[in-house]
Amino acid sequence: MFRSLYNRFRHLIHELGKFGVVGGTAFVIDTAVYSALLAADFETTFAKIIATVISATCAFIGNRFWTWRDRPRSALHREYVLYFTFNLIGLGITLAVLGFSHYVLGSIWPVFQTDLADLISAQIVGNALATIFRFWTYRRFVFAAADNPSA
């Protein structure tokens, strides 16, 4: 039974694994840059924007040339524009979580305005929600399979 399930979803499992490796690497880059910028007294949302742009650029390269390398390529500018459009939406998801935690909850409980609370809300909660959105949109629209009519 498990072998049958594995065989049925093998391609998706491998795709998710590659996406996870690329995403994990981007997460480390994002967290390192974000932490460094917070330590340098950058404003929290501005620091998150800079960190996301740097890590998303690295992730684009990994996803295009490894995760979905077997997919037909469309024009690089098309993929790039779609990729960064969906990353902007993903960044919006992350910033919404960070903003709610830092500014709304932080106005009630100051502990939510600490660097640690910002790291947890942005890097764990916000990125988790944004990653689900990103995987679906990259797979469906950016690096679409040949038989995907919406590509």
* Least confident span in 47-51, 63-67, 110-114, 145-149: 145-149
Q: Each residue of 84-95: pLDDT tens digit?
A: 899 899 989 999
> What pLDDT band is residue 151 in, cutting at 50, 70 and 90?
very low
pLDDT at 32: 96
pLDDT at 71 over 90: no
Q: What mean pLDDT, rounded, does the chain reach?
A: 88
pLDDT at 108 over 50: yes
Contact 120, 34 (CB under 8 A): no
> What pLDDT band is residue 146 in, cutting at 50, 70 and 90?
low
Residue 82 identity: L
pLDDT at 66: 92
Contact 99, 45 (CB under 8 A): yes
The four Cα atoms 138, 68, 1, 4 give a dihedral, to 10 degrees, of 120
**pTM of the predicted model over 0.85:** no
* Two tokens, residue 14: 């491998």
Distance (Å, rounded) from C-alpha 39 to C-alpha 102?
16
Q: Each residue of 14-64: pLDDT tens digit?
A: 888 999 999 999 989 999 999 999 999 999 889 988 998 899 899 999 998
* Least confident span in 46-50, 67-71, 112-116, 135-139: 67-71
